[in-house]
Amino acid sequence: MSNASSTITNEWQAFWLAVGFLTRIPMPVRIDYSQQLMNQCSLYFPMVGLLLGMLYAGLFTLLSLAWSPLVCVLLVLCFHLLITGAFHEDGLADSVDALGGGYTVEKRLEIMKDSRIGTYGTVALVMALALKAALLLDTNNIGLALLVMPAISRITPLLLMAFMPYVTDPEKSKSKPMAKGFSRKRLVISGLFTALVALVFSLWIPGLWLAAFTAIITVALLWGWYLQRQLGGYTGDALGASVVFCELVLLLGI
């Protein structure tokens, strides 16, 4: 196999590995799993987000033929939780439980890995979903907001991976293989793709590019600073929480 053909095959597998990592969508191709491929797949997080956004926007448009915007938004959120396995929401709940209930770094990391959800996590999860639904209903175009939000928000965890140390036990982490050897060059490509999405859809959502830039940078800086102070770095759960935070700040902006 030529180098060009091998590169295309690797990138194709990396894309579907990203789909499989972030969602429950069945992968139609065979994945030759490796450490390198896991590192490569993070490039496609915003692209997978755009794919999800297309599903959300399409579903909302279809449902709106029969039901009110509130009912449609809640049904789309249910679909989102189903198709992603509440991946990022689980990270939010675990992170808030750990940071709210732990008094040492070791205890916070221990709580974060506990599969049970506590009061802090429950409250954070309920409020985040309720605020997300309310903000979507307040936008001028719910369908377009659903379309762009997942793509833009998934660049934030890549920024945290690029500039912060990973602190979780590697033997118990799903995201460790991706964090190890993370490529900043590929982050630039992901950033350019995200910027393109924000600029193109600014034609229909005025000020989207500014709201996107503000949300990404604000969450990356503030959440990153807090994680550094409380944990000394980031965890997989904290990356998931950053996506939820970025979505909310983005919706506040638009």
Q: What is the pLDDT of residues 103-153, one digit of tens each?
A: 899 999 999 988 889 999 999 999 999 999 999 999 999 999 999 999 999
Q: Which residues contact 79 (CB under 8 A, 6 or more apart)?
A: 55, 56, 59
Residues 75-104 pLDDT 10s: 999 999 999 999 999 999 999 999 998 889
39 falls within a domain: no
Single pTM value for the model: 0.93
Considering its fold, how many domains does the chain have in total?
1
Q: How far apart are CA 238 and CA 234, in angstroms?
A: 6
Q: Which residues contact 193 (CB under 8 A, 6 or more apart)?
A: 46, 47
27 falls within a domain: no
Domain ranges, residue 162 = 46-253
67 falls within a domain: yes
158 falls within a domain: yes
35 falls within a domain: no
Mean pLDDT of the chain: 91
Q: How far apart are CA 33 and CA 40, in angstroms?
A: 11
